[in-house]
Amino acid sequence: MYLQLDNSGKDNKNAFVLMFMAYLVKMKVFQKVKVGFLMVGHTHEDIDQVFSRVASWIRRRDMVTLQDLVDNLRDSQQPSPIVEQLTCYDYKHSLEGCRGLIQGIATQHHFVMTEVDGKVTLRYRDWPGSPDHHLDIAGYIPQNFDVVGVTTNTKVLGEIQQMSADMVKWQETGRLSTTAVEWWTRYLEGVSDAREACVPFVDTLPRQQPWSPPQQEFATFPLSAARGQAAHVSRQVCLKIKKKMCNYCNNEIPPALSF
């Protein structure tokens, strides 16, 4: 698996992410995981074009519910992006013991996790042309993860109470229609409820199988079909340059003047 992430220690460049990737290699979900971080000032990537199209699309449209936003995100470009609201497991809960485990990763931009002789190793470098360094992390990779769902943030619960109180006011002033108010009421009532994760748990993911080249299959067909195919190939190969004639004097145009 190849990942290209923002160079942010709060979100991506930390021990939580690297140790989780190492766990995926240990569980043989992937044979190798490469994580790359872009240099400062050169962080524009393919996903920025997607966000640019989204911004241009939604700037001219009104969206009053999250479902309106999801529908417009899908309609903003072709091919249509996949937009889903996911409920995930709290893997960070089982990785708290790795907090601050790896020191000095701020200046590195390339990390590779592979399994060598039954042990997961971490290889890292500063830039593509820099020499590789190795770090033994095998003894720190979690043995398993607890099946813990992500709980609703307490700040979000406060916002839910405030929005629920303002709903009537927004409807009276015409900012929200009756249909939109009903949608938000149902949504806010379900936010604080415990919901099952809609993605597979990491231990249930399929394991990576050793790669083997596909077996080449030779097609069999009647001799008459083979002769017809040979004649077709012969017609394709026997091509020639078509002469170009002048529309005015009806003389052949020299190749150097052909267009």
> Average pLDDT of each block of 10 consecutive residues along the chain (259 residues)?
86 90 92 88 75 91 91 92 82 85 86 90 87 87 82 79 87 89 86 73 81 59 45 37 45 39
Helix (H, G, I), strand (E, B), or coil: what is residue 71?
helix
Helices (H) and strands (E) counted in the chain, each on its own, are: 6, 5
Res 112: pLDDT: 94
**pLDDT for position 160:** 84
Q: Would you call 206 exposed, middle or buried from its count of C-beta atoms within 10 A (0-12, 13-18, 19+)? A: exposed
SS3 133: strand
Residues 6 or more apart in contact with residue 44 via CB below 8 angstroms? none
CB-side exposure of 258: number of CA atoms within 13 Å? 9
- Half-sphere exposure at residue 218, Cβ-oriented, CA atoms within 13 angstroms: 1
For residue 83, give every residue at least 6 positions away whose Cβ sits within 8 Å of its Cβ, in sequence order, or none. Answer: 70, 73, 74
Quote the pLDDT of residue 211: 65
Spatial neighbors of 185 by CB under 8 A, at least 6 apart, are: 164, 167
Q: Which H or E element spans position 188?
A: helix 178-191
pLDDT at 236: 35
Closest CA to 27 of 221, 204, 246: 204
pLDDT for position 33: 95
| Burial tier of 105 (Cβ tally within 10 Å: 0-12, 13-18, 19+) | middle
Confidence at residue 69, expressed as pLDDT on a 0 to 100 scale: 92
* Nearest-10 crossing angle of helices 46-58, 66-75: 120
- Per-residue pLDDT at 161: 85
pTM here is 0.69
Give residue 56's pLDDT. 93
